[in-house]
Amino acid sequence: MTYAKTSAFTAEQQYLARVAKALAHPARVAIIQFLASKQTCISGDIAAELPLSRTTVFQHLQELKALDLIRGEIDGLTVCYCLNTELLHQVHQQFTAFFIEATSGAACGPNDACAC
């Protein structure tokens, strides 16, 4: 049996991996884009905006909510969903720093010979 050695990685590396995994599904990207386009909390049927069943949309909402990328407040019989923009700004900064670091050194380009 194989065990993940997450303790060998920093907390930031583990967090970025969890966020990347959450955003790795196009339905979750679409949900975030939909909520961002409305620029307000949505108290309604997000499933009506996506080509997915309500159950599937709910599962994707739960994944995003588990990481606190979106928030859902119960208001009577409906749930009002909105983006956690503060956290999304932090994630943006972390991914920007990651990509800057990853692309700042010498690397092989598509037409370069690798110096391995």
CATH number of domain containing 98 = 1.10.10.10
- The answer to whether residue 113 sits within a structural domain is no
Number of structural domains found in the chain: 1
Instruction: Report the pLDDT value the prediction gives residue 59, as an integer from 0 to 100.
Output: 92
SS3 84: coil
Q: What is the pLDDT along the chain (116 residues), one digit of tens a residue?
A: 555 677 789 999 999 999 999 999 999 999 999 999 987 778 777 888 889 888 898 899 999 999 999 998 877 777 889 999 999 999 999 999 999 998 887 667 677 766 66
- The answer to whether residue 84 sits within a structural domain is yes
Instruction: Report the pLDDT value the prediction gives residue 54, as an integer from 0 to 100.
Output: 85
As given in the structure block, the two tokens for residue 35 are 């909520």
Judge contact between 39 and 83, C-beta under 8 A: no
- The answer to whether residue 48 sits within a structural domain is yes
Angle subtended at Cα 38 by Cα 20 and Cα 78, rounded to the nearest 5 degrees? 90
Model confidence, pTM: 0.80
As given in the structure block, the two tokens for residue 70 are 């979106």
The count of other CB atoms within 10 Å of the CB of residue 95 is 14
| Owning domain of residue 70 | 9-102
CA-closest candidate to residue 60, choices 24, 13, 17, 14: 24
- The answer to whether residue 40 sits within a structural domain is yes
